[in-house]
Amino acid sequence: MQFDLTDLALFRDVVEAGSITWGAERAHLALAAASTRIRNMEVSLGATLLDRGRHGVTPTAAGRALLAHARTILNQADRLREDLGIYAGGAAGHVRILSNTNALTEFLPELLGGFLTAHPLVTVDVEERLSDEIVAAIADGTGDIGIVAGTVETHDLETFPFRQDRFVLVAAPTHPLGGRETVTFAEVLDHDLVGLDRAAALQRFLSDRAARAGRRLRLRVQLRSFDAICRLVEGNVGIGIVPETTARRAARTMNIHCVALTDSWAVRDLKVCTRGRAHLPRFAKLLADHLLAEPPYAGAMEQPPDGL
């Protein structure tokens, strides 16, 4: 077997993307070149690495074994690059973060800005996922650092308190729910909604909550940002569910009302998870330290959860 780091990184990207096409894009390779590399790996190994279907690819037993070794080798290569970068005129590194929607939109941008400014040769890959998917991905080495909801089971991962926020309803003042102080999610389901793109982790979560109640979300339009949701809510297109930090910020410039959701899942204690902070690659550990530098829940909510 004569696999190089490009082969291993490509195979990892293909498996994580569930598609040779998307894996090739992540690896910055042409599709034909990526397909040839995968086939050559299978010929060299003498075994099929991927089951190919109409809806993508999944690793075979041999592919799963290779994936585990590939992640280990690639992580070691990253550490080698970081350690030797010091002697080459500057320290360079790469960190992979997986985050739920709330942390990604409300807390990470400012924190990452400060970190990347202080470490100009470091790159950070940020991916949005559901919290339970993040836990599995951190456990199997897909990412270095995860930010998840406090209610999710993290098993053997090391966790640290990060921030607290809550989801609230935003509505136009003239909407039937606009004058309420509190509302249940069940009541929200009786009205038209403005939501995020269907691929967004939060939108998938809300759809699941509705399905558990035997209902469906009445989505009129789906957008790519919380700010855009608030703007359409102001126009009374529908109501929306957004983080309280977003709602308070938007309410300064938009004519919208914030209504507290009384469901227990609406309050979000966020936590950082890793396979072991002390064993992270150098720059991943520095980033974890940076994320956790402020006291937990600093500046999270201006008032306690029982009132807006």
pLDDT one-digit tens code per residue, 141-170 = 888 999 998 888 998 899 999 998 899 999
What does the pLDDT average to over 76-92? 70
Domains 86-163+268-293 and 164-267 share a fold: yes
CB neighbourhood size of 293 (10 A): 11
What pLDDT is stored for residue 130 in this prediction? 87
For residue range 190-208, list pLDDT tens digits in order.
999 999 998 888 899 999 9
3-state helix, strand, coil split of the chain in percent (to 5) is: 45, 25, 30
CA distance 73 to 90: 23
Asked if residue 29 lies in contact with residue 10, where contact means CB atoms within 8 angstroms, the answer is yes
Q: Above pLDDT 90, what percent of the chain?
A: 65
User: Does domain 86-163+268-293 fall into CATH 3.40.190.10?
Assistant: yes
- How many Cα atoms are found within 13 Å in the side-chain-facing hemisphere of 20? 19
Q: Given a cut of 80, is residue 1 above it in pLDDT?
A: no
Strands 158-171 and 240-243: antiparallel
Query: H/E element holding 156?
Result: none
Q: Check whether 301 has a pLDDT greater than 50.
A: no
State the fold for domain 164-267.
D-Maltodextrin-Binding Protein; domain 2 (3.40.190)
Annotated domain spans of the chain: 5-73, 86-163+268-293, 164-267
Is the pLDDT reported for residue 78 higher than 60? yes
pLDDT of residue 105: 87
Average pLDDT over residues 239-244: 95
**CATH C-level class of 5-73:** mainly alpha
* Cα–Cα distance measured from residue 300 to residue 244, given in angstroms and rounded to the nearest whole number: 9
Please report the pLDDT score of residue 294 as a whole number. Answer: 76
